[in-house]
Amino acid sequence: MEMNRKARAWLEREFLVLRPAGKGHGRRAPSGDVGHVSLPPTFSDGDFKEWIKRFDRCCVANGWNEDVRTKKLPTLLECTALLIYEELTDGQRLTYTEVKEALLDRFARPEEGKRNLQ
């Protein structure tokens, strides 16, 4: 089933979709090509649970392993979210799963996170 033009345009804007390599389709971006990665908007405040789901979808689309996810995640955090990340212990920053769980836990209790930052 072919996607209609409107849906395809939305996907390309939203996720910077890579077109398959081959005749008439341009070329596939080389691994690590920054010009062709899917990224969610930066996160500062709001529904972290929904944002991290979107980040995970982008990671899958980019083919990022856990180590790359661990390194990329803080580059997309701003303001309060970045401060909360910086408050994590070294042990909480070891793996992507640990970082994600720690942040989900902190954002589930926003009043405690904000109180600790004051």
Q: How confident is the model at residue 109 (pLDDT cuts 50, 70, 90)?
A: confident
Residue 74 · residue 60 · CB < 8 Å: no
| Count of domains observed in the chain | 1
DSSP label of 30? P
**Would you say residue 59 has pLDDT above 70?**
yes
pLDDT of residue 36: 73
Residue 31 lies in a domain: no
- CA angle 36/8/56 to nearest 5° reads 50
Q: How confident is the model at residue 49 (pLDDT cuts 50, 70, 90)?
A: very high
Residue 24 lies in a domain: no
Residue 13 lies in a domain: no
Dihedrals phi, psi of 43, to nearest 5 degrees: -115, 130
Residue 34 lies in a domain: no
Q: What is the pTM of this model?
A: 0.64
Residue 70 lies in a domain: yes
pLDDT tens-place string over residues 19-40: 444 443 334 444 555 557 899 9
Residue 7 lies in a domain: no
- CA angle 98/53/49 to nearest 5° reads 75
pLDDT tens-place string over residues 71-90: 999 999 999 999 999 999 99
Burial 15-40, CB ≥16 within 10 A → b, else e? bbebeeeeeeeeeebeeeeeeebbbb
Note down the domain range covering 101: 39-117
